[in-house]
Amino acid sequence: MGKASIIVFSGDLDKAMAALTVATGAAASGMDVTLFFTFWGLNVIKKGGAWKGEGFMGKMFNFMARGGDAIGPSRLNMLGMGRWLMKRVMKKKNVKLPREMIADARELGVTFLACEMSMRVMGVRKEDLIPVDDIVGVATYVQEASKADIALFI
């Protein structure tokens, strides 16, 4: 039922969630899905790291602190709360967290590829990442994406 190929370039929670939502949605529809984690997107598949430590929420709080009154209320609603509160709200609203979405994607057979060049530039080693299917170069991405029915850069 077709093929989807998504570059996960961003390490931001909202974009990672969008990428994982499309990936799991496509896989659940029977598509053959590949995620290419590159640049900041490598943070999404780091063991612990940006997704578990203080760094991410620090960034969210920082964002809120400096742009609080300059951004819309719905944006504030989401950003103006601690990690635990956000977690609770997402559970209550029946929205999955990235870690759960990654597990779902895995179970649905989504292929996880990490970008070799980005890892070199950012100093990320294989052992820093959760298990991926392969570490590849741009040629592999191009080959995959050129056959894809949906090719996105997120």
Q: How many helices (H) and strands (E) does the chain have?
A: 8, 5
- Tokens 């920082």 belong to 62
Minimum separation from the CB atom of position 125 to its own copies (A): 11
Task: Judge residue 18's burial from the number of C-beta atoms within 10 Å of its C-beta, 0-12 exposed, 13-18 middle, 19 or more buried.
Answer: middle
Which stretches of the chain bind its own copies, using CB under 8 A?
1-2, 4, 7, 9, 11, 14-15, 18, 21-22, 24-26, 28-29, 31, 38-40, 42-43, 46, 49-50, 53, 55-56, 58-59, 61-62, 66-67, 69-75, 77-78, 90, 93-95, 117, 120-124, 137-139, 141-143, 145-154
Q: Give Cα separations from 37 to 5, 53, 65, 86 (angstroms).
A: 11, 20, 29, 25
When the beta carbons of 62 and 133 are compared against its own copies, the nearer one is: 62
Minimum separation from the CB atom of position 50 to its own copies (A): 4
Minimum separation from the CB atom of position 34 to its own copies (A): 13
CA 118 to centroid of chain Cα atoms = 15
When the beta carbons of 101 and 112 are compared against its own copies, the nearer one is: 101
Minimum separation from the CB atom of position 6 to its own copies (A): 8
Residue 90 tokens read as: 């997402």
